[in-house]
Amino acid sequence: MHIIDLQNKELRQDYVSAISTSVAENLHKDKFGCIVKNTSANPLDLFKSICNEVGSPITAQYFEVSSEDDYFHDVIAHLCLNSAYWDNKPAILCNIDSILARLTEIDIDILSTPIFEFSSGKAAVLTKKEDEYQLRYNGETINTTTLLHIAKDVLKKLEDIINETGEQYYLNEGDFLVLNNHRIIHSSTNFSNDNGRQFKSVRLYYK
């Protein structure tokens, strides 16, 4: 994970532009993501600038994307608004290559079959595009009631692998994540709004 630490940095407009360009290039280059830390000075403005550089929101305004997400967006970005919420709750981020290394061929075949019921209909968890696997997974939103036990077991194995091999990062107020949504799995339970609005997020397509 690429980390940009802005502690004691003066966020002039030219520097904001350089940071935004760096994040966009990094997402394309290593297909992972960035954490931008210590953005105490106008974190929302910097967040918007980076999102604008990376891609285009699917709506005219930020932060108004329905939770009923029918699309597999290129980039997911989260801005932390309340650091108290993150106490002892790290963001868990896991590269797809690390996951694939722990799965068997049978596991991959099952996850690549469009039998998993998302809010938008049945689809595969794993798909292959240009010789690279992409993974779409949110354990809280997949309806497992109609799945065979073997498919449920593979989903449980996938979740265990994410928790065991994922890297943990703690976010403070003003920090944010910008992630390649095709190649990185993040623990979405850490972004819950159950206790009030704790983050802002956008879903983007690459420019």
Are residues 18 and 75 located together in one domain of the fold?
A: yes
CA distance 175 to 38: 6
Query: How do residues 132-179 score in pLDDT, each as one tens digit?
Result: 888 888 766 788 888 999 999 999 999 899 888 888 888 888 888 898
* pLDDT at 189 > cutoff 70: no
Helical residues (DSSP H) of the chain, grouped into ranges? 13-30, 43-54, 96-100, 105-111, 149-165
Q: Check whether residue 139 and residue 41 sit in a common domain.
A: no
Q: Are residues 35 and 78 in the same domain?
A: yes
Residue 40 phi, psi (nearest 5): -65, -30
Same domain, 139 and 77: no
Structural domain boundaries enclosing 7: 2-92+169-206
Phi, psi of 193 (to 5 degrees): -105, 20
Handedness of CA 119, 122, 124, 129 (dihedral sign): negative
Distance of CA 58 to the CA centre of its chain: 16
Q: What's the pLDDT score for residue 103? A: 96
Pair 193, 106 in one domain: no
Q: Are residues 190 and 145 in the same domain?
A: no
Q: What stretches of the chain adopt beta strand conformation (E)?
A: 2-5, 33-37, 55-57, 75-80, 91-95, 116-118, 121-123, 126-129, 132-135, 167-169, 176-180, 184-186, 199-206
Q: Please, which pLDDT band fits residue 106 given cuts at 50, 70 and 90?
A: very high
Q: Say if residue 25 is in the same domain as residue 76.
A: yes
Q: Domain check: are 28 and 64 in the same one?
A: yes
CA–chain centroid gap for 133, Å, is 16
Whether residue 36 sits in one domain with residue 77: yes
Q: How far apart are the first and last CA of the chain?
A: 22
Whether 99 and 153 map to the same domain: the answer is yes
